[in-house]
Amino acid sequence: MTGHDSQKPAVPAALSVGRAVPRLEDPKLLRGQGQYLDDIALPGLLECAFLRSSAAHAKIDDLDVEEARAMPGVHAVLILADLMPKLTSGRMPLGASPTGGQSNSTPFVLSNSEVAYVGEPIAMVVADTRYLAEDAAARVKVAYTPLPVVTDARAGMSADAPTVRTELESNVLNSFNVGFGDVESAFANAAHVFSDDLWQHRGCGHSMEGRGVVAEVRPGDELCVWSSTQMPHDLYYMLQSMLGLDQDRLRVITPDVGGGFGPKYCLYPEEVAVPAAARLLGRNLKWVEDRRETFISSIQERDQYWTVEVAVDANARLLGIRGRLVHDQGAYAPKPVNLPYNSATAMSGPYMLPSYSMDVVIVHTNKVPVSSVRGAGYPQAAFAMERTMDLIAFKLGLDRAEVRRRNLIPPEKMPYTKKLKARSGAAMVYDSGDYLASQAEALEAAGWKDFPDRQARALAEGRYIGIGIANAVKGTGRGPFESGIVRVGQDGKVSVYTGATAMGQGIETALAQICADGLSLPVDDVRVIAGDTARTPLGLGGFASRQLVTAGSSVHLAAKSVAAKALAAASVILDVPQADLELKDGHVRVLASNRAISLAEIARTLRGAPGYAFPAGTEPGLESAMHWRSDSLAYANACHVAEVEVTPELGQVEIKRYVALNDSGRMINPMIVKGQVEGGIVHGIGNALYELMGYDDSAQPVTTSFQEYLLVTATELPFLETILRETPSPINPIGAKGVGEAGTIPAAAAIVSAVEHALAPFKVRISQTPITPEALFRLVESSKTN
């Protein structure tokens, strides 16, 4: 070699990517210095409260707001007609950003003539304080004429069922078939056919911080809106359209977000009503959801009823699955019907399935509207498939893991094309992963092989222990793009701007790591600015475990582009060939010499100070904007093994062990990955055992506080054992796959598998979640009498 190693990369290899770098978000949050929505203080800020329907379905005959309006401290009591002068439509747009596509299934900004679920907003009170606003809301007099309700989607789909809204001709919002292959001949030629009816209920998202909106009126007819949302850019486009605002007069900011989990993916009537009222009154307004409002007005991802028939050959290999999926949509459909489509297309998961036919029916009921909660349709699909796997094993007297092993897609078949289309219309191609090795590793760690002996010994002592398994695949990194802008400041510090939304998952740290490595800088020198439409013109936001894959790829490419630009500029400034330069520690250094120029100095030079020579052949500004595009999904996979002990007399389930293997591709920060997986598992455990959003026969919600709706607390959990595999994705430049939902998807199926196994002596079949103590007790009792 002469002079320098020509193979040496101009930017050193990873410094922080792959390491458990402490989160940049933490110090302020630990000091109580985070700024969440309710912390935003503005001059003359007034507070709002919503009067919500107490009826599940009713015609509103009369609304008397006069008494409320006259109360001291009350500035306004508004109904839809009052807001209309500031709105282009009284009804929310379908989906989010599309400005057209009006449908008669979206909610109203305020609903003044008919209400279709308990919690639907009717009127809005603006007062000096929230206390006064709630007082006044209680004084609004509403005269209702009750109308018939639909509480069960299966009953609601019949032709003679009453409609959940009088404007509808039928409660069936949509129906379609998802399928491939010759399912009829698969069943005709099967060695065995089994069937089951399944119900999965998921309850609510319940981020600890509820939703909230602040609207600030600014001079020049400008408006700044803060929202605790996963989708600031969608909110921007939607508000621009709904308020008829010039694009330069609107700014949407997402401050620190106290958790999302799906419900903050949707755009809500309150996010329109509050800004519209602010413009109407010329006042700064705030509304913060309280927990009761979460229960009755934030999106839930609710019930699906599956009827599944499976055909297998003599060796328990899948030949075909057919059935029907009834999806309870609630009273409105704020988003298109993505969720049941996800469920239907995700059912076969990590398995090879030659034929499939699922009839999907989406049915309105008089309950809170439905959109995504962590997993977005996948947990129901995994539950249906994994319960089916267990059923095959039980009927054929085979080991449950063995049945799965025979049907898993082997690694040599990767990439594996499912005969289905993703929502983007692209083919559903599993990019990478070793499902057989994943399952084997999880089983080994969990002591699957020895369990029958342990179970027999326990049973001899009168203890009912069981072990359960579930696999899952999750399509992550949904496009079509996310933005990443990397800008080197005049002091050499770097700002990353992105449309990705920080909602507590650590995306800022992960993006900072990617950027820091791309520019050979310490992570602390990088600041990530997310969730501000004025500073990031293009973006989508947080959903479908997509942000690290999409924004991470953009930031990676942008940082590389900035590095290349810095090297090119330094070559001109220093008059040294680029091949003799390397970027290291924030400087471009001349190899085999002491000469160097800092990124700060290059940034200052490329700023182009007036009167000074600009380096020839270089572009102004040391920055790059990337919008990495993708229609493909990166498929993360997981295998969970749960061990439980059940007390049949009490219907009580104690989780004794939980082993979770997760493969989300290349890990940028394993600590964050582990945290996401563990949080996801506990969400799934809640779905399996505790979380029930209850309604009575008149569609009145009966769980509207955390005293009735149970979330998992620390004492219900064993030590979670997490195994992290790393199979890079070939479809994006950083090799990453999403992780946020992968922990949740198989958890309920694994727990239920274990509970059923523990109760094997009673021969119970569990076909639902949550499996509450009462439900379990009844199953055991009825098995005794049978």
Partner 1 sequence: MHEIEMLINGRSYSGLAEARMTLADFLRHSLGLTGTHLGCEHGVCGACTVLVDGASVRSCLMLAVQAKGAIVETVEGLAATDGKLSPLQQAFQDTHGLQCGYCTPGMLMTIVELLRENAQPSEAQIRDAISGNICRCTGYQSIVEAVLLATGGKSAGRMSE
Q: Which of residues 104-133 bind partner 1 (CB under 8 A)?
A: 131
Instruction: Indicate if the alpha-carbon torsion angle 53, 55, 58, 61 is positive or negative.
Output: negative
CB-based contact 600:525 (threshold 8 Å) = no
The answer to whether 209 contacts partner 1 (rule: CB under 8 A) is yes
- The rounded distance, in Å, linking the Cα atoms of 101 and 241 is 12
Q: Which of 14, 41, 534, 702 binds partner 1 (CB under 8 A)?
A: 41
Q: Are 768 and 778 in contact (CB under 8 A)?
A: no
The Cα 654–Cα 248 span in angstroms is: 56
Q: How far is the CB of 292 from partner 1 (least distance, A)?
A: 8
Give the nearer residue to partner 1 in terms of CB position, either 26 or 221.
26
* 36 near partner 1, rule: CB under 8 A: yes
Nearest Cα to Cα of residue 12 among 582, 735, 476: 582
Residues binding partner 1: number (CB under 8 A): 62
Locate 409 and state its tokens.
């897609």
Q: Is 705 an interacting residue with respect to partner 1 (CB under 8 A)?
A: yes
Is 285 in contact with 217 (CB distance < 8 Å)?
no
- Check residue 259 for interaction with partner 1 (CB under 8 A): yes
Q: Which residue has the tokens 């050193």?
A: 12
DSSP code per residue over 151-170: --HHHHTSTTSPPSSTT-S-
One of 723, 752, 764, 766 touching partner 1 (CB under 8 A): 723
Q: Can you tell me which of 15, 29, 71, 155 binds partner 1, judged by CB under 8 A?
A: 29
Return the amino acid letter for 564.
Answer: A
Of the pair 496, 667, the CB lying nearest partner 1 is at 667
Among 330, 541, 679, 746, binds partner 1 (CB under 8 A): 679
Q: Is 782 exposed, middle or buried (0-12, 13-18, 19+ CB in 10 A)?
A: exposed
Give the phi and the psi of residue 757 in degrees, each rounded to 5.
-65, -40
CA 124 to the chain's CA centroid: 29
> Shortest gap between Cβ of 252 and partner 1 (angstroms)?
20
Element (H, E) at 680: helix 670-689
Task: Report how far residue 746's alpha carbon sits from residue 200's, in angstroms, rounded to the nearest whole number.
Answer: 13
Q: Are residues 349 and 313 in contact, defined by beta-carbon separation less than 8 angstroms?
A: no
Return the range that interacts with partner 1 (CB under 8 A); candidates 296-304, 610-618, 620-628, 678-686: 678-686
Q: Decide whether 23 or 322 has the Cβ nearer to partner 1.
A: 23
Distance CA 667, CA 17 (A): 8
| Contacting residue, 258, 330, 539, 701, with partner 1 by CB under 8 A | 258
Contact region for partner 1 (CB under 8 A) — 113-121, 333-341, 358-366, 677-685? 677-685
User: Residues 11, 84, 440, 445: which binds partner 1 (CB under 8 A)?
Assistant: 445
- How far apart CA 742 and CA 376 sit, in angstroms, is 11
Token pair 């009823």 is at which residue?
A: 305
**500 touches partner 1 by CB under 8 A:** no
> Which residue number, 205 or 349, has a Cβ lying nearer to partner 1?
205
- Only one of the segments 72-80, 151-159, 464-472, 708-716 lies at the binding site for partner 1 (rule: CB under 8 A); that segment is 708-716
Q: Which of 302, 546, 683, 757 binds partner 1 (CB under 8 A)?
A: 683
Q: How far is the CB of 517 from partner 1 (least distance, A)?
A: 20
- Parallel, antiparallel or unpaired: strands 318-330 and 356-364: parallel
Residue 666 forms beta bridges with which residues? none
Which residues 6+ apart lie within 8 Å of 10 measured at CB? 563, 567, 578, 581, 582, 583
**Both tokens assigned to 616:** 């020839």
Give the residue with the Cβ less far from partner 1, 212 or 340: 212
Rounded least distance, CB 68 to partner 1, Å: 19
- By the rule CB under 8 A, 32 interacts with partner 1: yes
Applying CB under 8 A, the span of 429-437, 569-577, 634-642, 718-726 interacting with partner 1 comes to 718-726
Counting contacts by CB under 8 A, is residue 33 touching partner 1? yes
Distance CA 634, CA 430 (A): 7
Q: Is 151 in the site for partner 1 (CB under 8 A)?
A: no
Kindly report the length of the chain: 786
**Closer Cβ to partner 1, 84 or 724, answer by number:** 724
Q: Judged by CB under 8 A, which stretch of 139-147, 185-193, 386-394, 701-709 contacts partner 1? A: 701-709
Q: Please select the residue that binds partner 1; options are 4, 11, 15, 34, rule is CB under 8 A.
A: 34
Work out how close the CB of 633 gets to partner 1 at its nearest, in angstroms, rounded to a whole number: 24
- Whole-number Å distance between alpha carbons of 591 and 2: 11
Which uninterrupted H or E stretch holds 671? Answer: helix 670-689
**Of 29, 333, 95, 46, which is closest to residue 234 (Cα–Cα)?**
95
Residue selected from 266, 278, 682, 751 as contacting partner 1 according to rule CB under 8 A: 682
Crossing angle between the packed helical segments 670-689 and 747-758, to the nearest 10 degrees: 50
> Which range, of 28-36, 232-240, 430-438, 753-761, touches partner 1 by CB under 8 A?
28-36
How are beta strands 141-146 and 114-115 bridged, if at all? unpaired
Q: By CB under 8 A, tell whether 341 contacts partner 1.
A: no
720 part of the interface to partner 1, by CB under 8 A = yes
Shortest Å, Cβ 691 to partner 1: 11
Q: Does residue 373 bind partner 1 (CB under 8 A)?
A: no
Q: Are 293 and 49 in contact (CB under 8 A)?
A: no
Name the segment binding partner 1 (CB under 8 A); options: 68-76, 457-465, 526-534, 674-682: 674-682
Q: Least distance in Å: CB of 593 to partner 1?
A: 40
Q: Take residue 240 and report the two structure tokens written for it.
A: 């621009």
Strand locations in 535-651 (E): 581-584, 587-590, 596-598, 623-629, 634-647
Report d(CA 328, CA 55) in Å as an integer: 19
Name which of 359 and 716 has its Cβ closer to partner 1: 716
Pick the binder of partner 1 from 1, 30, 159, 609 (CB under 8 A): 30
**Contact between 601 and partner 1 (CB under 8 A)?**
no
Binding status of residue 14 toward partner 1 by CB under 8 A: no
The residue (of 192 and 292) whose beta carbon lies closer to partner 1 is 292
What would the two tokens of residue 349 be? 């998961």
Beta bridge partners of 510: none
- Name which position in 7, 31, 72, 314 contacts partner 1 (CB under 8 A): 31
Please state the closest distance from residue 389 (CB atom) to partner 1, in A.
Answer: 24
Please report how close the Cβ of residue 225 comes to partner 1 at its closest, in angstroms: 20
681 sits near partner 1 (criterion: CB under 8 A):
yes
- Cβ proximity of 555 and 526 under 8 Å: no
Q: Which of residues 651-670 bind partner 1 (CB under 8 A)?
A: 659
Which two structure tokens, joined as six digits, stand for 165? 């809204």
Shortest gap between Cβ of 247 and partner 1 (angstroms)? 30
CB-hemisphere CA count at 13 Å for 676?
A: 31
Q: Report the nearest approach of partner 1 to the CB of residue 78 (Å).
A: 23
Q: Exposure of 460 by Cβ count < 10 A (0-12 exposed, 13-18 middle, 19+ buried)?
A: exposed
Residue 291, interface with partner 1 (CB under 8 A)? yes
* 246: number of Cβ within 10 Å: 11
Q: Shortest gap between Cβ of 686 and partner 1 (angstroms)? A: 9
Q: Identify which of residues 187 and 261 has a Cβ nearer to partner 1 in the complex.
A: 261
- Which residues in this chain contact partner 1 in the complex, by CB under 8 A? 20, 22-23, 25-27, 29-36, 38-39, 41, 131, 206-210, 256-259, 261, 290-291, 445, 503-506, 659, 671-672, 674-676, 678-683, 705-707, 711, 713-715, 717-724
